[in-house]
Amino acid sequence: MAAGVILLAGNARFTEEILLLKLPNGVEANTENLRVAQALRRLTTENAVVGVVWAGVIPYHSERRAVDFLGKSDRYVAQLPPDLSGATGWAG
């Protein structure tokens, strides 16, 4: 019982999303990315390469090879150890 109350209290701000009264955060952006992906698939050939800063929806749904400009999906970058120095943080 107590665990249920704690769980509900901790998620109170998401009540509208849980009850499907409001779309979850990010749906609008992903909907727009889906539109872009569909347009890219129609307007480009299968050999096209698209550049993205938000990898995911656009490369997947456009069915085109993508280059992630931020490097977060890059095989080499993904294998690097994390930079824990703080020198590249928002305040660094």
**CA 49, 51, 57, 58 torsion-angle sign:** negative
Per-residue pLDDT band at 89 (split at 50, 70, 90):
low
**Is residue 66 within 8 Å of 50, Cβ to Cβ?**
yes
Q: What is the pLDDT of residues 19-76, one digit of tens each?
A: 889 998 889 999 999 999 999 999 999 999 999 988 889 999 999 999 988 887 778 8
Q: Under DSSP, is residue 52 helix (H, G, I), strand (E, B) or coil?
A: strand
**Is residue 62 within 8 Å of 37, Cβ to Cβ?**
yes
Per-residue pLDDT band at 6 (split at 50, 70, 90):
confident
Please state the pTM of the whole predicted model.
0.66
